[in-house]
A and B are shown apart, each in its own frame.
Chain A
Amino acid sequence: MKEKPGTGDKTGPEPARSKKVRWDYVFLFLLIPTFVVLVIVGSDRGVAARHVAWEYFKEMAIILPAVLVIMGLVTVWVSRETIVKYMGEGSGPKGVILSFILGSIPMGPLYIAFPLAAMLLRKGAKVSNIIIFLSAWACIKLPIEIVEFQFLGWKFALTRYLTTLVVVVVLSEVIGRVFFKEGYKVPDEDLGVVED
């Protein structure tokens, strides 16, 4: 009698989603005092921690809005058919290459890519392609490779780079076939406007 579908938090359709402890807030509110105390107590290390967090925060403040706006635009403008055609089942090597290229565009740390990946999956991209996309995002960035060249030498960097490429493509194909044969449904909430 009190059920009002769509009014949000307590009436999630899936049972797993209905016990809504917002862990992100729990973590955040535990971390804030920890951070403050450690930074005050930790003298030099505290200064380093604050410095790194601040640098990260600045990077995030610039990149996150941009990436999310791009995600919004793709959500609205790129149709499901297009994503299925180029990245879905049956997109073949073309899909692998495209996922790889998309992931290689340097756009910040890996966790920024998660909502993008979720959006692509919802629009019908193949699981193995999205794993390739995320792996490329994580470790196949050219600006980062230059740093690796400098510090570890070209032999090491090049070998690691090429091996990563091959291993990721092969493994994601295997995992896609074994564990996601029937596709995969992403948990969706707060999607906002759902296009298509």
Chain B
Amino acid sequence: MDLTSTVILALTGVLLVLSVVKDRKKTVAALRVALNAAKRLLPSILAIILAVGLMVGFVPAKWISQAIGADSGALGVAIASLLGAVLFIPAIIAFPLARSLLDMGAGLMATAAFITTLTMVGFVFLPLEIKELGTRFAIARNALSFIAAICIAIVIGLVLA
């Protein structure tokens, strides 16, 4: 188990003990809220896990590099941000992938846009986002992420090119 998980678990444990000591009834209520949320979320999360597995397994990194590397201008940025939105890849895989994008000749701007939408937009979990937060919020947040990706790409282009 990695450090992050250990810290989170320890923190949760401490909070839970404090809560029990202070008020047992409230703690039970809190656990009931957690359980309800777990029941609500579990099917979506299992589906996401399977989808991510299939994505990483069956969409070869080469395809992605080729799709983005083909054009390093505005079109490249557009393709990169769309691909980043559709795909959902863990960061540990995403950054080496971004590196190989650069090596294969993709522009800095496209790479930056790709990373941004990759982390901020996920079509895989959009249904879950809509369910939890509502359509309006989900649309607003995802739209913001796209605009952010383009702004960030432009700044990267200005600063580093």
Contact = CB atoms under 8 A, between A and B. Distances in A.
A76 B144 CA distance: 31
A24 B37 contact: no
B141 A42 contact: no
A117 B140 contact: no
A138 to B, nearest CB: 4
A96 interface: no
A110 B125 contact: yes
B21 interface: no
Contacts of B147: 167, 171
A40 interface: no
A195 B30 CA distance: 10
B140 A111 contact: no
Contact of A77 (B19, B115, B144): B19
Given A114-B128, A191-B36, A168 B5 contact: no
Nearest to A176: B140
A71 interface: yes
A70 B12 contact: yes
Contacts of A47: 57
Interface residues of A, number: 90
The size class of the interface chain B forms with chain A is: 35 or more
Contacts of A7: none
B40 interface: yes
Contacts of A92: none
A73 B30 CA distance: 5
B29 A76 contact: yes
Interface of B: 1, 4-5, 8-9, 11-12, 15-16, 19, 26-27, 29-41, 43-54, 56-58, 90-92, 95-96, 98-99, 102, 108, 111-112, 115-116, 119-120, 122, 125, 127-129, 131-134, 136-137, 140-141, 143-145, 147-148, 151-152, 155-156, 159-160
Given A148-B115, A160-B112, A192-B36, 12 more contacts: A24-B131, A31-B51, A49-B54, A69-B31, A109-B90, A110-B122, A141-B91, A151-B99, A167-B147, A167-B155, A180-B136, A193-B29
24 contacts: A28-B43, A28-B47, A35-B53, A52-B56, A53-B50, A54-B53, A63-B5, A64-B38, A71-B37, A73-B30, A77-B30, A111-B45, A111-B125, A139-B115, A144-B119, A148-B91, A156-B156, A159-B155, A159-B156, A164-B116, A168-B144, A179-B140, A186-B137, A193-B32
Which 9 pairs from chain A and chain B are nearest by CB?
A49-B57, A53-B53, A72-B30, A72-B34, A72-B33, A192-B36, A139-B119, A48-B57, A114-B132
